Amino acid sequence: MHPAYSVIFFTTASGAGYGLILLAALFGVLNGVPLDPWFGAITLGLGTILITGGLLSSTAHLGHPERAWRAYTQWKSSWLSREGILATATYVPLVLTAWGWLVEGSLEGPFGVFACILILFCLLTVHSTGMIYATLRTIRAWHDRMTVPGYLCFALLNGALWFHAISQMFGYQTPEIALAAIIGLFLTFYIKRKYWRSIDTIPGPATPESATGLGDIGRVRLLEPPTMTENFVQREMGYSIARKHAQKLRRICFFTYFLIPIILTGLTSSSDAWIAVPGTLLAALSASVGVAIERWLFFAEAKHVSMLYYGAERS
């Protein structure tokens, strides 16, 4: 598939925002961090900016952005519609949680309930984003059981590293916050490794024989291309990346979203502030770059089943 930069930014930014807000609400409810108004304002504010910026950027991928509201009407059958509804609904518990943290200085009682609802909505929204791709049977690389866990893990990873960095800035870093970042790092590494192994070793179910229904006759090969020049289907659905380039980008992903952050997180967890703050910020920035590259690969390595009619041997 042709990587759409607006969608790459949307999934990367919104995932980080939901992960950051989820962890802020979780640690706030569990009294894992002080309910400092400035700390809450920066943490929840950054998460809100990432979510809102990502959602707005996703409309750039639409042919008619003014019709985006129609996506809300298909919630019974469309994960895209469910994602839009959940993303919009998340602002309600977000505002109420922010009010409890910043104004009331408490996340107990009803504000604790709002924070728990916020955590649930963040999880459901990211899950819905992953399901948009996981339910597409026509694209083998996306119709994989590791797709949704991958989206959830990357949201946790990005959110945890940014939460760790902001906590260090305010002097609220604890072993539990560092542990959340480390869990996110190892869990994401494990899930993404399994995903890449799956799409590399398990071929898609469709072949030219099954697509044309001529399998009983024998091997089917392309005699002539369907069109004389490249068309929209080939540009959008048939985008491909050379195997050697994909492997190189995967290694860059490994260094940027796992190896560099895990080293920096380990080195800065108990360091002085003048080392810990830039170190944790660098870890969060490195992971964000790695997630953006991973998301580009997620689209570039996906092949649509329609390419079987243009000479592909397997979906």
Q: Tell me the per-residue pLDDT of 28-63, one tens digit each, with 9 for 90 and over.
A: 999 999 999 999 999 999 999 999 999 888 877 666
Question: Is the per-residue pLDDT at 25 higher than 70?
Answer: yes
Q: Tell me the per-residue pLDDT of 227-281, one tens digit each, with 9 for 90 and over.
A: 777 777 777 777 778 778 889 999 999 999 999 999 999 888 766 767 888 999 9
For residues 25 and 231, what is the distance between their CA atoms, to the nearest angstrom? 48
For residues 310 and 65, what is the distance between their CA atoms, to the nearest angstrom? 31
Quote the crossing angle between the two packed helices 37-58 and 5-29, to the nearest 10°. 150
Q: Tell which CATH architecture fits domain 5-310.
A: Up-down Bundle (1.20)
Task: Match 């109420």 to its residue by tokens.
Answer: 96
| 277 CB-near residues (< 8 Å, 6+ apart) | 165, 168, 169
Token representation of residue 197: 């192994």
DSSP code at position 302: -
Q: Tell me the per-residue pLDDT of 184-237, one tens digit each, with 9 for 90 and over.
A: 999 999 999 999 999 988 877 777 777 777 777 878 777 777 777 777 777 777
Q: Tell me the per-residue pLDDT of 92-118, one tens digit each, with 9 for 90 and over.
A: 999 999 999 999 999 999 999 999 999
Domain ranges of the chain: 5-310
285 three-state secondary structure: helix
For residues 58 and 232, what is the distance between their CA atoms, to the nearest angstrom? 20
Query: How many CB atoms lie under 10 A from the CB of residue 4?
Result: 15
User: 232-235: long-range contacts (C-beta < 8 A, 24 or more apart)?
Assistant: 233/304, 233/306, 233/310, 234/307, 234/310, 235/2
pTM (predicted TM-score): 0.92
